[in-house]
Amino acid sequence: MEPGAFEDELTCAVCLQVYQDPVMLSCQHSFCLKCIEGVWAQTPGPEGFECPQCRQKFNPRPSLKRSFTLCNIVEKYNQSQPLAKSSRVACEYCTENPSPAVKTCLKCEASFCSLHLKPHSLKEAYKDHTLIEPVADLTDRQCVDHKKVLEFYCKDDAECVCVSCIIIGKHKSHTLLSLDQAQAVIKEELEREIESLQGVQQNCSSKQRDLERSEAEIKTRINELKGKLLKSFSEWRRQLEEDEEYALKLIDEEGLRALSQIRSCSEALNKRMEQITLIDGETQSLVQRDHLSFIQNSKQLLSRVTETQRVTDPDVPALTLNLSNISQLIQKRLNGSEKYHSDILGIIVPASTEYGGPSNVTPPPHSSSGAASVPGNVLQLSTGITGRAGISQGQRSPMSLDPKTVNWNLVLSDDLRSVTWTERKQPYPPHPERFKHRPQVLCSQSFSSGSHSWDVESDGKDWGIGIVCGSVERKGRGSYLGNSSKSWCLFFSDNFLSAYHNSEFTHLPLTPSNSRIRVQLDYEAGTLSFHRVTDSLRPLHTFQTTFTEPVFPAFYCGNKSLKLLN
């Protein structure tokens, strides 16, 4: 049993201290001998004597005999607790065998047992005396300067003082409070500070709950993403296995075709050689016969020889594997693998945007290989961005071309502000946003509000300038600029200038091929205007529509170059 718990079993219910000379009543409750005698001496019951704990009546007064069993237990306990025993405060008014003090009076500067404390609770003269838990040494409760009890609180210096400090000491002109008042003031201040801290604690607790929710959401999101990715990669692996089986099957079929052709030619050659061998054998046999038989049978043999000679030897073509056909079939099939890139990015990219990450995935740096040796058609861009008041030249914010959208027959400049057409396909990595069939490219920037303008210049004879919605197709006829409801374009081709949208052309007056074109977009008004830039702006065409999603500047470069002007 723990010492504290064991001590509870040995505590007198009157003095609340460990028993001294314990006695046990017939009701089985024990008390210190002096404690029970003191109680019965001060307050004898009208019907006799009673137990202070259970109130059982005794009449006549029972004899009080020491409980030797309990005495031995107390003695052993005291021996095991020397420090606790030595630290007890004794009553200063017990002359013989002092009892433990239950209270210390700061006014009297003395400690009292329960018996000698009675006057403090019964007599009016002691009402203003302050009682505290028993203290052996009152030095820390006395003034250092005057050796008197600290009874007041100096508000100016925030310290406790004695009477002499107030009258003759350094605190005589200070604001003073009683200890009760000071306790109330300090308690109120402490409660305010604690209340403030509780507010901080509540705020921290709220943030902690937010973090816990975020942790749970992120773990859930991780599991969802992993599940989707595992499914996509599993499908990709399955497709790769099918593609592998398909490619091997094509090679096997082509091999069977070539080998079958070889066997057919070989059989024809063997058959012809067998016929010649047979004729040769018959000739050798005929030579051995007599003259008449030889002459009579030679005519038929000569006829067979002549017939055999007339048969054309079988042609043996250049027999090899037709791998070009196989490569085309495999290439056509593997073109569908881009779908898996798209599926995987479709899982990661929205998640990145949702959690505050970048809204697009940057592909590897573009290649400029071969650009120096290829004639150029260059695209220069400058942009002006204004409010709803209208189009303004204003301060221009540079735009850049998006490497992940550029077609394989276009080369981007290092600053991503010009594009050049080339016959040689560039080694760009597959990407779901790349234009597959037309030499087109988008800007990295998109617009979903406000008014904007940018200038483009071309030195070629086959170019297109416009805008597209981000969801426009990237392959097939729907990906051509102006060939769907999600793209608007000004085209110059074959010396004709046209406005093109949703597969409908509007032919415009001819403009020189080396024109500088200004594009002006007012998103809220739903207008897209094109102007020729010379000494002044010459209107060319204006589209009127309603935009429902962000739009990207778009460019078609069929020969030479296009430039985004600064």
Q: Which helix (H) or strand (E) holds 118?
A: helix 118-122
Select the more confidently predicted residue: 289 or 217.
217
The H or E element that residue 452 is part of is strand 451-458
Using DSSP's 3-state secondary structure scheme, residue 178 falls into strand
Please compute the mean of the pLDDT values over residues 21-38 and round it to a whole number.
88
Q: What is the pLDDT of residue 220?
A: 92
Residue 31's H or E segment, with its range, is: strand 30-32
How far apart are alpha carbons 391 and 121 in whole angstroms? 94
pLDDT-derived band at 1, boundaries 50, 70, 90: very low
Task: Return d(Cα 218, Cα 460) in angstroms, integer.
Answer: 52
- d(Cα 343, Cα 38) in Å, to the nearest integer? 93
Confidence of residue 126 (pLDDT cuts 50, 70, 90): confident
Q: What pLDDT score does 146 carry? A: 84
Q: Which residue has the higher pLDDT, 383 or 304?
A: 304
Cα 566 to Cα 379, 382, 478, 527: the distances in Å are: 11, 4, 31, 23
User: One-letter amino acid identity for 5?
Assistant: A
Q: What is the pLDDT of residue 71?
A: 82
Residue 338 has pLDDT above 60, yes or no: no
199-212: per-residue pLDDT in tens?
899 999 999 999 99
The pLDDT value given to residue 365: 32
Report pLDDT digits (tens) over 529-547. Answer: 999 988 888 899 999 999 9
**Alpha helix segments (H runs only) across 288-369:** 291-310, 323-334, 338-354
pLDDT tens digit sequence for 413-433: 988 999 999 988 998 888 999
Query: Which whole number is the average pLDDT over 457-462?
Result: 87
Over residues 501-511, the pLDDT tens digits come to 998 888 887 76
Calpha distance 103→129 (Å, rounded)? 11
- Residue percentage of the chain with pLDDT more than 90: 24
Q: How many residues does the chain have?
A: 566
Using the predicted structure, report yes or no on whether residue 479 has a pLDDT greater than 60. Answer: yes
| 487 compared with 99, residue with greater pLDDT | 487
Residue 267 has pLDDT above 60, yes or no: yes
Residue 90 burial by Cβ neighbours in a 10 Å radius (0-12, 13-18, 19+): middle
Q: Are 475 and 408 in contact (CB under 8 A)?
A: no
Nearest to 460 by CA among 417, 416, 419: 419
Please tell me the predicted confidence (pLDDT) of residue 371. Answer: 32
DSSP tag of 501: E
The region, left, alpha or beta by phi > 0 then psi within -120 to 50, assigned to residue 508 is beta
Prediction pTM value = 0.36
Neighbours of 479 (CB within 10 A): 20
Contacts of 89 (CB under 8 A, 6+ apart): 100, 101, 104, 111, 134, 135, 136
In the three-class reduction of DSSP (H, G, I as helix; E, B as strand; rest coil), residue 370 is classed as coil
| pLDDT band per the 50, 70, 90 thresholds, residue 340 | low
Q: Which amino acid is at 300?
A: Q
Rounded to whole angstroms, the Cα distance separating 152 from 163 reads 8
Which one is predicted more confidently, 480 or 352? Answer: 480
The residue behind tokens 């203290």 is: 135
At 220, phi and psi to the nearest 5? -65, -45
The reply to whether omega before 364 is within 30° of 0 (cis) is no
Residue 472 has pLDDT above 90, yes or no: yes
Residue 391 near residue 453 (C-beta atoms within 8 A): yes
What whole-number distance in Å separates Cα of residue 19 and Cα of residue 99? 10
DSSP string for 236-303: HHHHHHHHHHHHHHHHHHHHHHHHHHHHHHHHHHHHHHHHHHHHHHHHHHHHTS-HHHHHHHHHHHHH
pLDDT in tens, 367-421: 333 333 333 344 444 444 443 333 335 335 568 999 999 999 999 998 899 999 9
What confidence score (pLDDT) does residue 393 get? 55
Q: How many DSSP H helices and E strands does the chain contain?
A: 10, 25
Q: Is the pLDDT of residue 455 over 90?
A: yes
pLDDT digits 0-9 by tens, 45-94:
566 788 888 888 888 888 888 877 888 788 777 766 544 443 478 898 88
| CA-to-CA separations, 473 to 117, 136, 503, in angstroms, rounded | 98, 92, 14
Alpha carbons 444 and 470: distance in angstroms, whole number: 11
In this predicted structure, what is the pLDDT of residue 342? 57
pLDDT digits (tens, 9 = 90+) for 356-368: 443 333 333 333 3
- pLDDT for 209 equals 92
pLDDT tier, 318 (very low <50, low <70, confident <90, very high otherwise): low
CA distance 417 to 456: 10
Please tell me which residue, 398 or 561, carries the higher pLDDT value. 561
The residues that bridge with 489 in the sheet, in sequence order, are 466, 500
145, 164 contact by CB (below 8 A):
yes
The pLDDT of residue 336 is above 70: no
Q: pLDDT grade, residue 8 (50/70/90)?
A: low
Q: Which helix (H) or strand (E) holds 152?
A: strand 152-154
The residue type of 154 is C
pLDDT for 498 beyond 60: yes
User: What pLDDT sits at residue 438?
Assistant: 92
Q: Whole-angstrom Cα distance, residue 151 to residue 172? A: 14
